[in-house]
Amino acid sequence: MNLPNKLTVFRIILVPIIVLVWLFPYEEFGITFITFHFGAISLSLLNVIVLLLFAIASFTDFLDGQIARRRNLITTFGKFADPIADKLLVNTLFILMAFERYIPVLPVIIMLGRDTIVDGCRMMASRNGVVVAAGILGKLKTVLQMLTLIFVLLNGLPFSIFGIPFTDFLLWFATLISVASGYSYFIQMKDYIFESK
């Protein structure tokens, strides 16, 4: 397994670690986290820890792609596993944030629905021996989702100090691009979906 693929696998491994860190019952063990205050906005150290883990995982997404392209290490496994790793990371965090009511559930449902449809399209294409790599809109969607989650974990800082709902804007913009990229994938793979034999 080459280095980019190892980074992809590492990103997948980080997902359950982030979940455990976020959902661990700290209060039952008498563990409390420092809370930082920025005017009326508060930020728990737990948020910062999860943000750091998420940032590391997100950076591996950038790093594995750069290394694969520069060293010509692009593989079928990488094309297949990289978008799966991204979706596991991003969607897990979105579900956790919606569960904790940090964000509304509707955009999360839309983005999860989009991913389900795209994965179904990919499966149809793979039956014909075609591996569909992430396109430009798909990559933009992932970057926007990661940026959104960073600001969600930061409680909207620094914009929330001034009452600017920047996180809400990012969330809905990411949702819009998610739908647009999903439509792009559908058009790209429609021949495999609707083929008849």
pLDDT of residue 69: 82
Q: Of 178, 181, 23, 34, which Cα lies nearest the Cα of 107?
A: 178
Confirm if 154 and 118 have CB atoms less than 8 A apart. Answer: no
CA-angle at 86, arms to 84 and 67, nearest 5°: 100
Pairwise CA distance, residues 76 & 79, whole Å: 5
Nearby residues of 53 by Cβ (< 8 Å), 6 or more positions away: 14, 17, 18, 21
Radius of gyration of the chain, Cα coordinates, nearest whole angstrom: 18
> What pLDDT does 105 receive?
97
Global pTM value: 0.89
Helix (H, G, I), strand (E, B) or coil at 40: coil
CA pair distance 68, 134, nearest whole angstrom? 14
Q: What is the pLDDT of residue 119?
A: 82
So what's the pLDDT on residue 131? 65
pLDDT of residue 134: 66
Which stretches of the chain score pLDDT less than 70?
A: 128-134, 192-197
| Domains parsed from the chain with CATH numbers | 3-193 (1.20.120.1760)
